[in-house]
Amino acid sequence: MSPGLEFDEAMARGVEAIYRTPDVAGQRSVTLAAMALRPGERVLDIGIGPGLLAYDMALIVGEKGRVEGVDKSDPMIAVAENRCRDLAQCAFQNADATELPFDDASFDAIVSTQVYEYVADMSRALAEVARVLSPGGRVFVLDTDWDTAIWHTADVPRMRRVLDAWEGHLHDPRLPRTLGAKLEAAGLRVTRRDVIPLLNSSLHPNCYSHGMLAAIAGYVAGPGGLPQEEADAWLAEQRALGESGEYFFSINRYLFGATRV
């Protein structure tokens, strides 16, 4: 496995731009609808990233509610804090998903989107969720299965090499297929499983895969260990497909909801 992604300042800005696209905003809307938050609720966001979901949740729970967030990247927390600076119900801090700095039964709802695929010790991470969730509380987890990536190319072996190298930045690029059983093993009862497909049939700056092209090319030619020329050629082909109107990218996210019994 290759080294993980460094969520430094440049990466924090990159993630923020990609996560503001309508593609990812749509995924957030589905997540928010599933959470069905109510004013006054206490919510925890694990791996808060740029704070886009935290902002939306804070508006729903209101001033009498609370949105706590943890992330292990200070640059990410800085972006989230800036976004939510006028919302007194928000508080973010540096902590790992496997060691949550909260008392037992502190939250009515917990959410973690696109984070657990980076986490090695999932049984510990989910035990922490079960510990800090109130009895009857809800947890929502969204992750990607990278086997669902369909990316048009004339060079299938090169696309496979690029995606294999890219998967090295994650601990589990196929987490959704085992997530339900992992949640149940942690004492949480799974109440829903949803698939959220993402489709880009043209390449433009306001779509998810546009920003991902540069991120993937940069990673695979660096920590991913592929030759620079291979990453450049892969990127050039995708841009050419975008210009000729032949671009196609699709991937599935999976959203799980569970309750603490």
Beta-carbon contacts of 100 under 8 Å, excluding residues fewer than 6 positions away, are 44, 46, 70, 128, 129, 131, 132
Beta-carbon contacts of 227 under 8 Å, excluding residues fewer than 6 positions away, are 221
Residue closer to ligand SAM, measured from CB, 41 or 143: 143
Q: Considering the complex, what minimum distance in angstroms separates the CB of residue 50 from ligand SAM? A: 6
Among the listed ranges 48-56, 159-167, 213-221, 245-253, the one in contact with ligand SAM (CB under 6 A) is 48-56
Beta-carbon contacts of 260 under 8 Å, excluding residues fewer than 6 positions away, are 130, 133, 134, 135, 136, 137, 139, 187, 188, 189
Q: Considering the complex, what minimum distance in angstroms separates the CB of residue 70 from ligand SAM? A: 6
Q: Contact between 18 and ligand SAM (CB under 6 A)?
A: no
Q: Contact between 239 and ligand SAM (CB under 6 A)?
A: no
- Which tokens is 8 given? 């430094």
Write each residue from 114 to 153 as x if it is in contact with ligand SAM (CB under 6 A), else as -, in one continuous string.
Answer: xx--xx----------------------------------
Among the listed ranges 72-80, 83-91, 198-206, 235-243, the one in contact with ligand SAM (CB under 6 A) is 72-80
**DSSP state letters, 186-229:** TTEEEEEEEEEEEEESS--TTSHHHHHHHHHHHHHTTTT---HH
Can you tell me whether residue 42 is helix, strand or coil? strand
Residue closer to ligand SAM, measured from CB, 17 or 233: 17
Q: Contact between 96 and ligand SAM (CB under 6 A)?
A: yes
Alpha-carbon distance of 214 to 235, in angstroms, equals: 8
Q: Contact between 249 and ligand SAM (CB under 6 A)?
A: no
Cβ–Cβ under 8 Å, residues 38 and 259: no
CA distances from 98 to 46, 135, 185 (A): 10, 20, 16
Residue closer to ligand SAM, measured from CB, 72 or 152: 72
Q: Out of 68, 71, 128, 145, which residue is the one contacting ligand SAM (CB under 6 A)?
A: 71
Q: Considering the complex, what minimum distance in angstroms separates the CB of residue 215 from ligand SAM? A: 10
Residue closer to ligand SAM, measured from CB, 28 or 241: 28
Q: Contact between 89 and ligand SAM (CB under 6 A)?
A: no
- Which tokens is 247 given? 């671009």
Q: Contact between 15 and ligand SAM (CB under 6 A)?
A: yes
Q: Are strands 66-71 and 42-46 parallel, antiparallel or unpaired?
A: parallel
Q: Footprint of ligand SAM on this chain (CB under 6 A)?
A: 7, 15, 19, 47, 49-50, 52-53, 70-73, 76, 96-97, 113-115, 118-119
